[in-house]
Chains A and B, each alone.
Chain A
Amino acid sequence: MNFIALKMLVGNRAKYLGIIIGLTFASLLITQQAAIFLGLMTRTYSFLADTSLPDIWVVDPKIQFVDDLKPLKETESLRVRSVEGVAWAVPMYKGLLKARLPNGTFQTCNFIGLDDETLIGGPPEILQGRLADLRRSDAVIVDIVGATGKLATVLPDGRRIPLRIGDTMELNDHRAVVVGICRVQRTFQSQPVVYTTFSRATIFAPRERKLMSFILVKAKPGQDFHELCQRIRQITGLAAYTREEFITLTVQYYMKYTGIPINFGITVVLGFIVGIAIAGQTFHNFTLDNLRYFGTLKAMGASDGMLLRMIMLQATMVGCIGYGLGVGAASALGFMSGSTELSFQLPWQLLLFSAIAVTLICVASAALSMLKVIRLEPAIVFKS
Chain B
Amino acid sequence: MKNKNPVAVRCKGVTKTYGTGDTQVHALSGVNLEVYAGEHMMLVGPSGSGKTTLISIIAGVLDRDGGECVVFDHDFAHMSRYEKTRYRGQNIGFVFQLFNLIPSLSAAENVAVPLLINGVRRREAIDRAREILGRVGLGNRTFSLPEELSGGQQQRVAIARAIVHNPRLIVCDEPTSALDHETGHKVMELLCQVAVGTDRVLIVVTHDARIFEFASRIAKMDDGHIISVTNTPCYVSDEKKE
Residues of A within 8 A of B (CB): 1, 3-4, 7-8, 10-12, 292-293, 296-304, 306, 377-379, 381-384
Contacts and interface: CB of A to CB of B under 8 A. Distances in A.
Given A296-B96, A384-B174, A301 B117 contact: yes
Given A296-B94, A382-B56, A301 B86 contact: yes
B100 A301 contact: no
B94 A299 contact: yes
Q: For the complex of A and B, list the 3 residue pairs with the smallest distance between their C-beta atoms, beginning with the closest.
A: A301-B89, A11-B104, A378-B61
14 contacts: A4-B102, A4-B116, A7-B102, A7-B105, A8-B102, A11-B103, A12-B104, A298-B61, A299-B61, A301-B89, A301-B114, A301-B117, A304-B81, A382-B96
B61 A377 contact: yes
Contact of B94 (A11, A300, A303, A377): A300
Given A293-B102, A382-B173, A384-B97, A301 B116 contact: no
Contacts of B113: 4, 297, 300
A10 B92 CA distance: 29
Contacts of A7: 102, 104-105, 109
Contact of A8 (B86, B89, B104): B104
B94 A10 contact: no
Contacts of B55: 382
Interface string B39-58: 00000000000001001100
Given A3-B122, A306-B117, A300 B89 contact: yes
Nearest to A296: B100
Given A11-B102, A12-B104, A381-B61, 12 more contacts: A3-B122, A4-B102, A8-B102, A293-B102, A298-B61, A299-B88, A301-B88, A304-B85, A377-B62, A378-B61, A381-B100, A383-B52
Contacts of B150: none
A382 B55 CA distance: 9
A281 to B, nearest CB: 21
A374 to B, nearest CB: 11
Nearest to B110: A4
Contacts of A304: 81, 85
Given A378-B61, A379-B61, A382-B96, A301 B90 contact: yes
A7 B146 CA distance: 14
A4 B105 CA distance: 7
Nearest to A293: B102
Interface string B74-104: 0000000110011111101010111010111
Nearest to B96: A381
Nearest to B114: A300
A46 B113 CA distance: 61
Nearest to B51: A382
A377 B16 CA distance: 15
B59 interface: yes
B109 to A, nearest CB: 7
Given A298-B85, A299-B59, A299-B88, A381 B94 contact: yes
Given A1-B117, A384-B97, A300 B104 contact: no
B118 interface: yes
